[in-house]
Amino acid sequence: MSRTALRICPLCEATCGLTLTIEGTRVTSARGDREDVFSKGFICPKGAAFGALDADPDRLRTPLVRVDGELREATWEEAFDAVAAGLRPVAERYGSDAVGVVLGNPNVHTVAGGLYPSLLIGALHTRSVFTASTVDQMPKHVSSGLLFGDPNAIPVPDLDHTDHLLLIGANPLESNGSLCTAPDFPGKLKALRARGGHLTVIDPRRTRTARLADRHIAIRPGTDALLLAALATTLFEEKLTDLGDLAAHVQGLPELRAALEDFTPEAVADACDVDAALIRTLARELAAAPTAAVYARIGSCTVPHGTLASWLVDVLNTLTGNLDRPGGALFPQAATDRTPRPAGPGRGFTLGRWHSRVRELPEAKGELPLSALAEEIDTETGQGEPLRALVVIAANPVLSAPDGDRLDKALESLDFMVAVDPYLNETSRHADVVLPPPPPAQSPHHDFAFNTLAVRNQVRYSRPAVPLEPGRMAETEIHARLVLAATGMPKADPGSVDAMVVEQTLAKAVKEPHSPVHGQDPRELAARLTGDDGPERRLDLMLRLGPYGDGFGADPDGLTLARLLAHPHGIDLGPLRPRLPQPLKTVSGKVELLPAPLAADLPRLRQALRERPAGPVLVGRRHLRSNNSWLHNLPALTGGTNRCTLHLHPEDAARLGVRDGEPVRVKGAGGEVTAPAEITDGIRPGVVSLPHGWGHDRPGTRQGHAAAQPGVNVNQLLDGTLLDPLSGNAVLNGIPVELTRVAVPEPR
Ligand SMILES: Nc1nc2c(c(=O)[nH]1)N[C@H]1C(S)=C(S)[C@@H](COP(=O)(O)OP(=O)(O)OC[C@H]3O[C@@H](n4cnc5c(=O)[nH]c(N)nc54)[C@H](O)[C@@H]3O)O[C@H]1N2
Ligand SMILES: Nc1nc2c(c(=O)[nH]1)N[C@H]1C(S)=C(S)[C@@H](COP(=O)(O)OP(=O)(O)OC[C@H]3O[C@@H](n4cnc5c(=O)[nH]c(N)nc54)[C@H](O)[C@@H]3O)O[C@H]1N2
Ligand code: SF4
Ligand SMILES: [Mo]
């Protein structure tokens, strides 16, 4: 007997609704849920592989604990005892910063990752926090923090309504979008063009997205900030700025104009390798479009001027009056957002409240650069303690972060490491305790993070599609027990963690004049929460206090968990709407167009006007059937075009004397790798491309299929020194490399 169940896909930021077919406890197929209020049936090959992922025989079934140097199967109780015994003594002996937390990408795709990591960091009292954000979007958080006072206030392009999209360093036809949650991003781009809209793509590669565009500009890698500055300057010079209603909410316009004055199209053209006349045309088009949005992602963030580029994106949206207007770039309002407070000045955003120990790199948003993780473990400075223990949740930095070989050794030297991961991979193989979460069909799903970045306001929740199999522990419970182990109470009831959060949240809410529960009794309110377990009660609490909530009765038609459960395909909350000035938390209460730390970084950008790469540079790429470092164990998603090859322009191939498929040695500051050439004119001459997340050839892992896939770790080319200084974000694109032909025997 088969049945169906609904489940939001956790594999990328598009958050598509899936309809799973289930036989017994096995997921036999996954289709797009046509009734899903947001994704309306869209699915990609990764979502379709949900069943295979769920049933992957290499998934760990029980916790593992290291005994006499070997990882052995253990009970959950033994595992958490080992965690408590491993973490506490390190913190007591060396101080709380000697215990670090590493959070990887899937934390933004799980309920557990949305609800517990901040509690864990609090329980550990550690400032040693490293996440995937500093190999990804930290520049955008920093620019939003400085512009809007809130690092999480990220404007999202209004894809469904815009007339003009300037898309920079993103390839949504492969990635399905990022910092812009939009199921069927490809369809939305096609619809934009079909309704007469205009799409410009800026990317050194002629990607599938670029091929869909009206115009593709193959910019020189790493120079987007220059181009964007020149667009802004052109708008000023040609009197094309028009802030409209925004003007009342913006400060610093004359100062911005003066600061960017010398970045004219003529000044940046050579550095960017884009014609000055074309830059002027882009600016004029942007200004002339009835509505327009500038949107930029990985290729603009993971570069030396990532924060400046991220800032200039929203500067352009502002100068053209497109910030916070339909068809432009707007701030989504998620159902689990905090109760909106009245508009007014806030505390602003501060960088560098503390620094890393070895290179003294500034924190950003409470995090230190992932690029500094290895040195924070393996380097004594005489000042402060190295990291001696790590809690690693859903992260594989040995492949995802710069210089995996060094990190690999550093992890081996730790006194203690615990990993929460379904697989024994390049990183988790170093753990003393591995805590495996259940397969996704056995887990609930809600997108705490991505609903704050979605092109339409909506809310959806999936309960586990299949009951927890015996011996499994929900990932929410794993996280709650980690919090308790960190606090020194490993035997306490994990539900007490959620109860504490509910109590503290309500105690605060009843004191806030703008809260719908102002003045009420928190205990009485807590008793009214519904849900099967602690995490569901917390979701109910967030929904009820949130912007669409029932406010515990204040708005009887408002959202509650019960209401959401009654709508298994989700609840549509309407298109993005103007929200300013409410989201602003700057000290001035305005959009601060020229924040001091950004102004202070402009001389570095000015220097870049004169810089040209001496040799080839490398950029990354993504493939639709891959996902960072961890979907390579599924036969359905590997092989074919999803391979770790070196894209190389025919001119460069000819110069090197390399034929298609022949090996090329790529050398960078951190090491060298050899990959087969894939000769293509879809890349700029002088630029080569390797995908990341490959190179599953280390011993001691348990991912049989992945280990058999050819591929190399592109991040071995990096030594971790190249950073965007404001955000601490790694430079992963536009990195200098040397290429050499590897002699192959002539065929006889
Ligand atoms: N050169 C280069 N490097 C890059 C990038 C690039 O573009 N170029 N991109 C960067 C970006 S954007 C990112 S986000 C990072 C990603 O890098 P990481 O954050 O390290 O993420 P993944 O490589 O996806 O590894 C995810 C880990 O989570 C585990 N996992 C999967 N599902 C679950 C789950 O439900 N629960 C738990 N607890 N664990 C789970 C997987 O087994 C795997 O070990 O890589 C970065 N690295
Ligand atoms: N299939 C698949 N989907 C994914 C992922 C995956 O690994 N696979 N990862 C997910 C994650 S964690 C993230 S963060 C998102 C990322 O989503 P996207 O940002 O869309 O990521 P990419 O596909 O890497 O696109 C980045 C583009 O930037 C270009 N580029 C490189 N350097 C430069 C430059 O200097 N300037 C400009 N203008 N362009 C440049 C590259 O050629 C590439 O085409 O994707 C998510 N979705
Ligand atoms: S686009 Fe993303 S969310 Fe949608 S099915 Fe594919 S992997 Fe899942
Ligand atoms: Mo990412």
| In-domain check, residue 18 | yes
Quote the CA–CA distance of 106 and 748 in Å, as a whole number.
49
pLDDT at 748 over 80: no
Does residue 562 sit in helix, strand or coil?
A: helix
| In-domain check, residue 170 | yes
Cis preceding-peptide flag for 581 (omega within 30 of 0): yes
* Token code pair at residue 450: 């991505």
* Token code pair at residue 172: 């949504």
Element (H, E) at 221: none
Q: Is the pTM of this model over 0.85?
A: yes
Quote the CA–CA distance of 458 and 447 in Å, as a whole number.
10
pLDDT at 10 over 90: yes
Q: What is the mean pLDDT of residues 64-78?
A: 97
Say how many Å lie between the CA of residue 215 and the centre of ligand 1: 32
Quote the CA–CA distance of 201 and 219 in Å, as a whole number.
10
* Helix (H), strand (E) counts: the chain: 27, 29
Does residue 393 sit in helix, strand or coil?
A: strand
Q: What range does the domain containing 86 cover?
A: 59-126+369-445+473-492
The answer, yes or no, to whether any atom of ligand 1 lies below 6 A from the CB of 186, is no
Residue 302 phi/psi, 5° resolution? -90, 55
The answer, yes or no, to whether any atom of ligand 1 lies below 6 A from the CB of 620, is yes
Nearest to 619 by CA among 486, 737, 443, 452: 737
| In-domain check, residue 562 | yes
Average pLDDT value for the chain: 97
Say how many Å lie between the CA of residue 130 and the centre of ligand 4: 14
| In-domain check, residue 530 | yes
Quote the CA–CA distance of 519 and 539 in Å, as a whole number.
22
Quote the CA–CA distance of 221 and 306 in Å, as a whole number.
12
Q: What is the mean pLDDT of residues 435-462?
A: 98
pLDDT of 606-616, one tens digit each? 999 999 999 99
pLDDT of 672-712, one tens digit each? 999 999 999 999 999 999 999 999 999 999 999 999 999 99
Residues 623 and 529 in one domain: no
Say how many Å lie between the CA of residue 13 and the centre of ligand 3: 7
pLDDT at 745 over 80: no
Say how many Å lie between the CA of residue 179 and the centre of ligand 3: 14
What pLDDT shows up at residue 743? 85
Strand pairing report for 723-724 and 64-67: unpaired
Residues 682 and 593 in one domain: no
Which residue's CA is the nearest one to ligand 3's atom 8?
47
> Which DSSP string do the residues of 74-95 spell out, in sequence order?
--HHHHHHHHHHHHHHHHHHH-
Ligand closest to the CA atom of residue 185: 3
247 and 237 Cβ atoms separated by less than 8 Å: no
Residues 179 and 317 in one domain: yes
* Token code pair at residue 559: 């959202």
Say how many Å lie between the CA of residue 203 and the centre of ligand 2: 10
Q: What angle do CA 314, 318, 320 make, to 5 degrees?
A: 120
Residues 282 and 393 in one domain: no
Q: Provide the pLDDT confidence category of residue 1 given band limits of 50, 70 and 90.
A: confident
Ligand closest to the CA atom of residue 178: 2
Residues 482 and 511 in one domain: no
pLDDT of 525-582, one tens digit each? 999 999 999 999 999 999 999 999 999 999 999 999 999 999 999 999 999 999 999 9
Ligand closest to the CA atom of residue 171: 2
Task: Specify burial of residue 556 (Cβ count, 10 A radius: 0-12, 13-18, 19+).
Answer: exposed
| In-domain check, residue 459 | no
| In-domain check, residue 464 | no
Residues 228 and 325 in one domain: yes
pLDDT at 163 over 80: yes
Ligand closest to the CA atom of residue 637: 2
Determine the residue type at 577. Answer: R
Element (H, E) at 146: helix 138-148
Q: For residue 674, what is the DSSP state?
A: E
CATH number of the structural domain spanning residue 27 = 3.30.200.210
According to DSSP, the residues that pair with 416 across neighbouring strands are 389
Ligand 2, pocket-test mutation among 171, 181, 687, most atoms within 8 A of CB: 171
According to DSSP, the residues that pair with 27 across neighbouring strands are 22
Does residue 193 sit in helix, strand or coil?
A: helix
Residues 315 and 228 in one domain: yes
Q: How far is CA 463 from the centre of its chain?
A: 24
Which residue's CA is the nearest one to ligand 3's atom 5?
47
As a whole number of Å, the CA-based R_g of the chain is 25
Residues 429 and 529 in one domain: no
According to DSSP, the residues that pair with 20 across neighbouring strands are 5, 30
What pLDDT shows up at residue 744? 76
Q: What angle do CA 175, 391, 691 make, to 5 degrees?
A: 25
* Token code pair at residue 442: 């056995």
Does residue 349 sit in helix, strand or coil?
A: coil
Residue 618 phi/psi, 5° resolution? -110, 140
| In-domain check, residue 460 | no
Number of domains in the chain: 5
- CB within 8 Å of 433: residues ≥ 6 apart: 63, 64, 65, 66, 79, 82, 83, 86, 417, 418, 419
636 and 52 Cβ atoms separated by less than 8 Å: yes
Quote the CA–CA distance of 696 and 711 in Å, as a whole number.
7
Using CA atoms, how far residue 274 sits from 223, 292, 414, 716, in Å, is 10, 21, 48, 31
pLDDT of 470-492, one tens digit each? 999 999 999 999 999 999 898 99
Which residue's CA is the nearest one to ligand 3's atom 6?
44
What pLDDT shows up at residue 125? 97
CATH number of the structural domain spanning residue 723 = 2.40.40.20
Using CA atoms, how far residue 525 sits from 260, 338, 494, in Å, is 53, 17, 21
Residues 484 and 515 in one domain: no
Using CA atoms, how far residue 297 sits from 72, 98, 138, 177, 330, in Å, is 42, 33, 11, 9, 16
> Which DSSP string do the residues of 490-541 spell out, in sequence order?
TTS-THHHHHHHHHHHHHHHTT-TTSTTTTS-HHHHHHT---SSHHHHHHHH
Q: How far is CA 621 from the centre of its chain?
A: 15
* Token code pair at residue 278: 């074309």
- CB within 8 Å of 69: residues ≥ 6 apart: none
* Token code pair at residue 97: 């910063």
200: left (phi over 0), alpha (psi -120 to 50) or beta: beta
* Token code pair at residue 405: 């070989």
- CB within 8 Å of 538: residues ≥ 6 apart: 115, 498, 501, 502, 531
- Please identify, by atom number, the ligand 3 atom nearest to the C-alpha of residue 45: 6
According to DSSP, the residues that pair with 458 across neighbouring strands are 572
Q: What is the mean pLDDT of residues 215-228?
A: 98
Q: What percent of the chain has pLDDT over 90?
A: 98
Ligand 3, pocket-test mutation among 18, 44, 453, most atoms within 8 A of CB: 44
* Token code pair at residue 13: 């930021």
Quote the CA–CA distance of 435 and 417 in Å, as a whole number.
11
* Residues near ligand 2 (Cβ within 6 A): 12-13, 105, 136, 168-172, 174-176, 178, 202-205, 207, 219, 221-222, 224, 297-300, 303, 619-624, 626-628, 733-734
Task: Specify burial of residue 57 (Cβ count, 10 A radius: 0-12, 13-18, 19+).
Answer: exposed
Nearest to 391 by CA among 434, 349, 352: 434
Say how many Å lie between the CA of residue 48 and the centre of ligand 3: 8
Instruction: Say what angle helices 495-509 and 534-545 make with each other, to 10 degrees.
Output: 20
Residues 628 and 698 in one domain: yes
| In-domain check, residue 736 | yes
HSE toward the beta carbon, residue 463, CA cutoff 13 A: 17
Q: Which of 54, 81, 98 is the last residue of a domain?
A: 54
pLDDT at 746 over 80: no
pLDDT of 414-436, one tens digit each? 999 999 999 999 999 999 999 99
Residues 41 and 66 in one domain: no
Instruction: Tell me how far apart the terminal alpha carbons of the chain are, to the nearest angstrom.
Output: 59
Nearest to 312 by CA among 219, 218, 231, 200: 231
What pLDDT shows up at residue 242? 98
pLDDT of 102-161, one tens digit each? 999 999 999 999 999 999 999 999 999 999 999 999 999 999 999 999 999 999 999 999
Nearest to 283 by CA among 329, 328, 223, 241: 241
- Please identify, by atom number, the ligand 1 atom nearest to the C-alpha of residue 428: 44
Does residue 559 sit in helix, strand or coil?
A: strand
- CB within 8 Å of 313: residues ≥ 6 apart: 143, 168, 228, 294, 295, 296, 300
Say how many Å lie between the CA of residue 740 and the centre of ligand 1: 30
Say how many Å lie between the CA of residue 11 and the centre of ligand 1: 11
155 and 317 Cβ atoms separated by less than 8 Å: yes
Q: Where are the beta strands (DSSP E) in 347-494?
A: 389-393, 416-420, 433-435, 456-459
Residues 437 and 508 in one domain: no
Q: Provide the pLDDT confidence category of residue 747 given band limits of 50, 70 and 90.
A: low
Quote the CA–CA distance of 633 and 357 in Å, as a whole number.
37
pLDDT at 167 over 90: yes
Q: What percent of the chain has pLDDT over 70?
A: 100
Q: For residue 553, what is the DSSP state?
A: G
